Structure 1
Amino acid sequence: MQDLNELLGIAREGAEIGAKLMTTLAPGTVRAKGDRDYVTELDVKVQHEIRDHLHRATPDVDFLGEEEGGGVLDEGTDYVWALDPIDGTSNFAHGIPLCATSLALVHRGEPVVGVIIAPFLNLRYHATKGGGAYCNDQRIHASETTDLSRAIVSIGDYATGPGAAEKNRRRFAVTQALAENVERVRMFGAASLDLAWVAEGRTDACVILSNKPWDMAGGVVLTHEAGARTVDAQGEQHGFSSGETISGANGQITDQIRLALYP
């Protein structure tokens, strides 16, 4: 196995494949994966091309991608690439620039390399375990906000598909609790950017009530390396079996959000 810097280089090359395709090709045919859940022809093409790149460079590393069935992350797997070819597909298909390619290397359930590229915003994030977090090759750090009333907090998308009504009751309650306690609530529609912007200090926290590894892995390593605290609903360290994810700029903000959501 190559060292993390070599693997980071491979990941950055892979994510750039996605960025180039997103900015040079149209979404193509849009088809439904489920109730109000869509995939574009380009999502699949991006996944194929990045997967092929990764297989050539790291033939012994497993691969998990969102499209064509997705899958479940086995946290006992030695190394696996986790890819969301276009995070924020609905945004992308509608010409909204809040979308990104998110790629991470996960080692036995822990993300150790993360790359997120939002090509329409010219933002390129990367991080390695123990190596810090960067945007456009400049070191980034989470914000120093400790007062929840001064915090900008983003939330993940509302649910669609089976069980959406029940899931959204929880999401509406979270939205209300945040709206009553924070400076502003935002919804960007791309989990990778929710996490990257906590890492960069653009926002002070995010709450995401879903937890797919391809959505989360790249952003989780960024938040850890930028000094943010990312936990589950119980306040334990985030893992891919967690049901809910709270990432705060620091322990004080994270704890205040948990108290607001779980009084």
Structure 2
Amino acid sequence: MPSTFSPVPSGLAASPFAAPFAAQLPRILEIIRESGALVMDHWRKPRNIRLKGRIDLVTETDLAVEAFLKDRLKDVVPGATFMAEESATSRTPQGTCWIIDPIDGTTNFAHSLPFVATSVGLWHEGRVVLGVVNAPVLGECFWAVRGGGAFCNGEPLRVSDREPLEQAVVATGFPYTISEDVDTVLARLRKALVTTRGVRRCGAAAIDLAFVASGRFDAFYEADLKPWDTAAGWLLVEEAGGCVTGFDGAPYDFTNEGILASNGRVHEAMRAVLAL
């Protein structure tokens, strides 16, 4: 398997436009590389799965990767707190806070589907300033620092320039509350299917957002996501030149009904699709 990491572009940490903690990026990437090796070790073994809800799964890998990241990252930014999926008691980050999804795409992982990622965002002074989405099975690591651009395996990312919406490929996901919200989900999906070139579903929001940042998808929308699903990918899209809002166009801040991320060119058209 090819390495998922390339050297950090020279001069990034010294850039006057880069966010606080950019200097720690190489260390953060190394820690996340090691967590990816843990994911791959578990990938080759039988899964130990339990239910958190009717269709919401957790595996021993989720727990092991979360524990590993919390242990290793705690000394990178002294005093930073953690909001991690399997142990979070709040969905509102405060101060300086690591926002972690150890395995985004747990259902994919449980079924040996390769769209699996670890998402790590660093929240500071009211915004995400650093984000990493590592997809070890795919062999790709996406990362960004605020003011420093977005990258995949060390290569710079840029959102697509595709428009109009009828030429766009759009990604979406379905909430764990699908049985209660199926009518709303299907109403939006129907509009997306007939107004775009196609709709895709990876089953991992962090990967969907990374694919928007890389220009593979032209837009992504999903309702009822949590901060650990979107923190890192949100920054990736913005640093790659894209746009991220709520469904109604309001600034995205983890409290919106849903997230809409796009290349910017199809954003207003997608807002119309999502309006009910």
Interval of TM-score (by shorter of Structure 1 and Structure 2): over 0.9
Q: Tell me which residue corresponds to 2:96.
A: 79
TM-score, length-scaled by structure 1: 0.93
Instruction: For 2:210, give the aligned amino acid.
Output: A
Between stretches 55-64 and 134-143, larger displacement belongs to 55-64
Q: Tell me which residue corresponds to 1:112.
A: 129
Give every structure 1 segment of 4 or more consecutive aligned residues whose post-TM-superposition deviation is greater than 6 Å.
none
2:194 is aligned, of 171, 177, 180, to: 180
Q: Tell me which residue corresponds to 2:15.
A: none
Q: Report the aligned-residue RMSD.
A: 1.6
Number of aligned positions between the proteins: 256
Matched, 1:53 2:72: yes
Q: Tell me which residue corresponds to 2:270.
A: 257
Q: Tell me which residue corresponds to 1:29.
A: 48
Shift of 1:185: 0.3
Shift of 1:36: 1.1
Matched, 1:210 2:224: yes
Shift of 1:73: 3.3
Distance 2:64 2:78 in 1: 20
Q: Tell me which residue corresponds to 2:213.
A: 199
Alignment of 1:8-157 (within 5 A): 8-25=25-42, 26=45, 28-68=47-87, 70-75=88-93, 77-156=94-173
Shift of 1:37: 0.7
Q: Tell me which residue corresponds to 2:175.
A: 159
2:241 is aligned, of 220, 223, 227, to: 227
Q: Are 1:109 and 1:240, in contact at CA under 8 Å, matched by a contact in 2?
A: no
Instruction: Map Cα deviations across residues 205-262 of structure 1 (whole Å, 9 max, x no partner).
Output: 0011123111100000000000010111221221111111111111x30100111221
Q: Are 2:28 and 2:76, in contact at CA under 8 Å, matched by a contact in 1?
A: no
**Percent identical residues:** 33
Counterpart secondary structure, 1:180: helix
Distance 2:57 2:117 in 1: 16
TM-score, length-scaled by structure 2: 0.88
Instruction: For 1:192, give the aligned amino acid.
Output: A
